[in-house]
Structure 1
């Protein structure tokens, strides 16, 4: 009898969590999101998590214009805070991970120079994410300004729409790029070596990138969206974020 009750309870939970949820995700999380979804689906196997990737600024604009997202994982706190103030989010923004910057190049570079390496006269193009819409782009500009190199190289900057596109630019169209460190932990990036092709940007040069999550108004009665929200703030999710180079609160 007890086994039947347990089985019935399990089936009930499974049936309750058996739909789709739509989440808007900052591009820098694209490398970790598949692992996060897999871990979540171990708990809720019948929930289909649909992901839309993009820059935090553009995703915020979509949400303000009525895009049907249930949850927003931003690249900083600015955008989810704005949504909360405008009553478009039903939870206060919380930090789910802290991102950091790295330099990346397809060729070997002398990283002992630190950020001064961008002043290399042979460099013709330096890739960063668009600072108007991507927090990692804002952090890149801040780092260069604090290091007093921005004015000397600003005419060499090329802007990507998102931090993931910046990785592509760094490896194809530019001599070096400022990217999210998390992107270096995907399998396809394993051939690029630390100290040869990439290196961390000194964290003292830019404001820590606190990445924020909110449950959106559309999902205020959606138990599956609430479950995913809770999962992203859980120890299991934090372990995955750490594996992809993030710091966790």
Structure 2
């Protein structure tokens, strides 16, 4: 073999390996999972060498984006309904699988306030942050809590809706809302722990928040990195990380 031909083969081989190593997994992530997903991605990348990036929004908005052709590889949602819609539309490789159960809390950064359902009616509270129940499962759960406790109509004028839990958190963190509903995983995250005060809401007051994930079909080829991350999500190591963020494992 001529030296030039050998050199070309080496270059082609190296290029092929580099492309494989640079395969990136794009994870459409429900807003409640933002901080937990950061920890999961860090651990997964260290173990596998596969790069990941996440796109964070409400589960409903992410569903619309996926149906519109957004180039995501995995959808990690805040309920089963939205991943099921993706599967029913023929856009997922398999039916959704539950990876965790979430929990809802009431959170405030106002030192003068103690979060509770009774406190929401206090005249000192003018704004209560809540995620849009039409697109965010945690917002829907929050509305169920208010209705269960006969507070929905009473507090209607105080409610400030965020597009997702992320925006709801910003309302609470900036004190634009004196109090608000968010996920337990947010207040237990290293970035938020110790900030403000939170109240654990009765899980019997809202439907179980069963969070599911699916691998999204993209073109004809399978993203092996996506399959690897999806499988990792259900490993003992990943479940341990999720528990640290307040999620309960599927029963």
Same-fold call, TM cutoff 0.5: yes
Deviation at 1:151, TM superposition (A): 1.1
Residue of structure 2 equivalent to 1:26: 30
Residue of structure 2 equivalent to 1:245: 246
2: CA distance between counterparts of 1:121 and 1:183?
Answer: 27
2: CA distance between counterparts of 1:137 and 1:69?
Answer: 24
Deviation at 1:16, TM superposition (A): 5.3
Change (3 A) 1:14 1:230: farther
Residue of structure 2 equivalent to 1:234: 235
**What do residues 14-44 of structure 1 show as CA deviations (whole Å, max 9, x unaligned)?**
9855411111011111111121012111321
**What do residues 133-189 of structure 1 show as CA deviations (whole Å, max 9, x unaligned)?**
111000000011011111100111000111011111123211100011101122332
**What do residues 59-84 of structure 1 show as CA deviations (whole Å, max 9, x unaligned)?**
11000000011110001111000111
**What do residues 190-228 of structure 1 show as CA deviations (whole Å, max 9, x unaligned)?**
2325xxx11111111001111110001117622111000
For structure 1, the 5+ residue unaligned runs are 1-12
Residue of structure 2 equivalent to 1:67: 70
TM-score, normalization: structure 2?
A: 0.87
Determine if contact 1:56/1:133 at 8 Å carries over to the other structure: yes
> Which of 148, 157, 160 is matched with 1:158 structurally?
160
Q: How does 1:1-249 map to 2 (within 5 A)?
A: 18-45=22-49, 47-108=50-111, 109-111=113-115, 114-171=116-173, 172-192=175-195, 197-218=197-218, 221-249=222-250
SS for the counterpart of 1:49 is strand
1: CA distance between counterparts of 2:19 and 2:170?
Answer: 41
CA RMSD of aligned residues (A): 1.9
2: CA distance between counterparts of 1:14 and 1:207?
Answer: 46
Determine if contact 1:116/1:149 at 8 Å carries over to the other structure: no
1: CA distance between counterparts of 2:36 and 2:90?
Answer: 29
Deviation at 1:122, TM superposition (A): 1.9
Determine if contact 1:127/1:166 at 8 Å carries over to the other structure: yes
2: CA distance between counterparts of 1:146 and 1:65?
Answer: 36
2: CA distance between counterparts of 1:50 and 1:31?
Answer: 13
Higher helix share: 1
Determine if contact 1:17/1:44 at 8 Å carries over to the other structure: no
